[in-house]
Amino acid sequence: MSASSKMQKEKESTTSAAAVPAWLSQILQDKAPGPKIYRWTPDDVAGSSGAAPQRKKRAPADTNRIFIVGMGNLGRLFAASLARLPDQPPITLVVHRPGLLEQWRAQPGVVLHPQGYVEGAASSKDVRIADFDIEMWSETPPPPPPLQDAAAAGDAEIPPIANLIIATKAQDALRTAEWVRRYLAPDAAVAFAQNGMNKLWPPYGALYNEARYADRKRPPLWLACIVTHGVYSVGPFASVHAAPADVVLGSVDGSISSSSGPGGNEAYLVQQILAASQLKARWAPRHELWVLQLEKLVVNAVINPLTAILRCKNGALFVADDALNSAVLPRVIDQLLQEASAVLRALAQHEIQTGSIFADAASTVEAEADASAALAERLSFASLRAMVYRVGELVKDNSSSMFQDAQAGKKTEVGEFNGWIVDMARYLESVGATDGKTLDVAAHQIMVDLVEKAVPLTQEELGTHFFSRSVRLDL
């Protein structure tokens, strides 16, 4: 079956099975064009001194301008890396709090400390990059400029967006793309940089595109970046690039040739990301990107919630330092992995048989059988377990972002990681992809509940949520 007929079939099966998740059904009901959004510059905020705002000209609407929304760790990594390109593209950093514009006004610049900073071997002087425009985007217009500055102030509505990097947390990513939809240019490229599965993968991407972009020749080019760099924050606009690694970039969208990458105007953002040497990015075909994102999801769905619940560093999950630890944690990890493996294998099987992701990769029945067997092996419990323990060893000295968010009382990404696995199990059952069987995802649901409760637990307390009392007494 051709890729396009598989995409059509995918769309039909999603709609007919009534397996539309809440986030998508809300979008399907909302036919509005998207809100008007205005840009505030540092000159639009009075500052702590109370000085009157001075209005300078807003950044021009170049088609090669790259907007980065979300100026946290990955936003800073992408900004600093793109700014170091020999032919630096114009870049606008987009924030959502006026305080950040004030902070920028007081001390402009993004700081990405090198790895050596951790050992005190680098100074921040060498790494501050201020060659950016910065804006806060808001549905409230900025205050009108003083009369004499009105002509110079330019249009306060945001310009058309041709190149967008969304570097928010996973739960804010699609919401951000939705929010700015009115401004996405006809050949826009949008790169998502989150952990977790991108929401625009099958089975929902085609439905989303049809709901939002049916009136266009084509939807924006949706790109996903799988980022393995480790970056942590040391203040506003300042992070440490503690663990340089790489980025795998590819298209979530089935409508472009996935092995060679996109052509046309939308290729510009891809070229810039690939050329930014600090990112160490490479292009991956769609099916490879999908599997890599699934594997990263599994790592995140094991390490992040457990470290958040137990409030411990990553390495503490994998050391058998006492009898209790050796009994409880490996069993919890194994249960999470068994469940994840069953769901991902069912999903992969379903995708190979009915979906579009492998249509290019496996065009014959034999190739399809080979791909199916290889994928089943890659997503087996044993392979996933070996991968999680391998990664756990590599990142043993780090604190996961979910642990840090839990400690800071912030919302976590658990709904996008473990919650996604639970939702996917229900989706697969609803479309008849599990031979009538129920996929057990109880352990992932427990992770979601415990992380959202935000009460730290000991390992023994964690065990009580998983194992019956008689089993616990045997430990």
Ligand X SMILES: NC(=O)c1ccc[n+]([C@@H]2O[C@H](COP(=O)([O-])OP(=O)(O)OC[C@H]3O[C@@H](n4cnc5c(N)ncnc54)[C@H](OP(=O)(O)O)[C@@H]3O)[C@@H](O)[C@H]2O)c1
Nearer to ligand X, 72 or 141 (CB): 72
Q: Would you give the binding string for ligand X spanning residues 373-412, x where CB under 6 A is met?
A: ----------------------------x-----------
How far apart, in Å, are the Cα atoms of 254 and each of 6, 27, 174, 362? 10, 21, 18, 14
Using CA atoms, how far apart are residues 295 and 19, in angstroms rounded to an integer?
A: 24
The residues near 26 (Cβ < 8 Å, ≥ 6 apart) are none
Nearest distance from residue 65's CB to ligand X, in Å?
17
Active site residue 169: no
Q: Which is nearer to ligand X, 24 or 177 (CB)?
A: 177
| Shortest distance (Å) from residue 310 CB to ligand X | 19
What 8-state DSSP symbol labels residue 41? -
Cβ proximity to ligand X: between 187 and 416 the closer is 416
Closer of 248 and 443 to ligand X (Cβ): 248
Tokens found for residue 444: 């992932």
Name the segment binding ligand X (CB under 6 A); options: 166-174, 246-254, 374-382, 458-466. 166-174
* Interacting span for ligand X (CB under 6 A) from 85-93, 116-124, 229-237, 280-288: 229-237
Residue nearest to ligand X according to CB distances in the complex: 72
179 vs 381 by CB, closer to ligand X = 179
* Chosen residue from 27, 112, 127, 231 binding ligand X by CB under 6 A: 231
Q: CB neighbours of 183 closer than 8 A, spacing ≥ 6?
A: 34, 37, 158, 159, 160, 161
- The per-residue b/e assignment along 148-180, b for 16 or more CB within 10 angstroms, e otherwise, is eeeeebbebebbebbbbbbbbbbbbbbebbbbb
Pairing of strands 247-251, 238-243: unpaired
Task: Tell me whether residue 73 or residue 92 sits nearer to ligand X (CB atom).
Answer: 73
Q: Please pick, among 296, 410, 411, 453, the residue that the annotation labels catalytic.
A: 296
- Shortest Å distance, C-beta 254 to ligand X: 23
Instruction: Please give the residues from 24 up to 83 whose contact with ligand X meets the rule CB under 6 A.
Output: 69-75
- State in angstroms the smallest separation of the CB of 405 from ligand X: 8
The answer to whether residue 195 forms part of the interface with ligand X (CB under 6 A) is yes
Q: In angstroms, what is the minimal distance from the CB of 377 to ligand X?
A: 26
Task: Please state the separation of Cα 460 from the chain's center in Å.
Answer: 32
Distance CA 48, CA 106 (A): 9
226 and 293 Cβ atoms separated by less than 8 Å: yes
Question: Distance between CA 297 and CA 402 in Å, rounded?
Answer: 13
Out of 14, 92, 103, 194, name the contact with ligand X by CB under 6 A. Answer: 194
**Which listed range, 60-68, 228-236, 280-288, 462-470, lies at the site for ligand X (CB under 6 A)?**
228-236
What is the identity of the amino acid at 447? M
| Binding positions for ligand X, 290-349, rule CB under 6 A | none
Query: Nearer to ligand X by C-beta: 406 or 428?
Result: 406
Segment interacting with ligand X (CB under 6 A) among 52-60, 188-196, 207-215, 355-363:
188-196
- Tell me how many residues contact ligand X (CB under 6 A): 27
Least Å distance, CB 401 to ligand X, is 5
Q: Where are the alpha helices (DSSP H) in 262-400?
A: 267-275, 286-310, 323-354, 365-378, 381-394
What's at 461, amino acid-wise?
E
Q: Taking CB under 6 A as the criterion, which residues in 86-105 touch ligand X?
A: 94-97
User: 42 and 51 in contact (C-beta within 8 Å)?
Assistant: no
Q: Is 227 in the site for ligand X (CB under 6 A)?
A: yes
Residue 146 vs 235, nearer CB to ligand X:
235
In 3D space, the residue among 23, 434, 393, 392 whose CA is nearest the CA of residue 198 turns out to be: 23
Q: Which of 444, 408, 406, 409 is nearest to 425 (CA)?
A: 444
Total count of residues recorded for the chain: 475
Min separation Cβ 336 and ligand X, Å: 18
Residues 6+ apart with CB under 8 A from 187: 162, 221, 264, 265, 266
Closest separation in Å from C-beta 167 to ligand X: 6
Q: Considering beta carbons, is residue 100 or 207 the nearer one to ligand X?
A: 100
Going 58 to 63 to 69 to 71, the CA torsion angle's sign is negative
User: Any idea which residues carry the catalytic annotation?
Assistant: 296
Residues that bind ligand X (CB under 6 A): 69-75, 94-97, 167-170, 172, 176, 193-195, 227, 229-231, 233, 401, 413
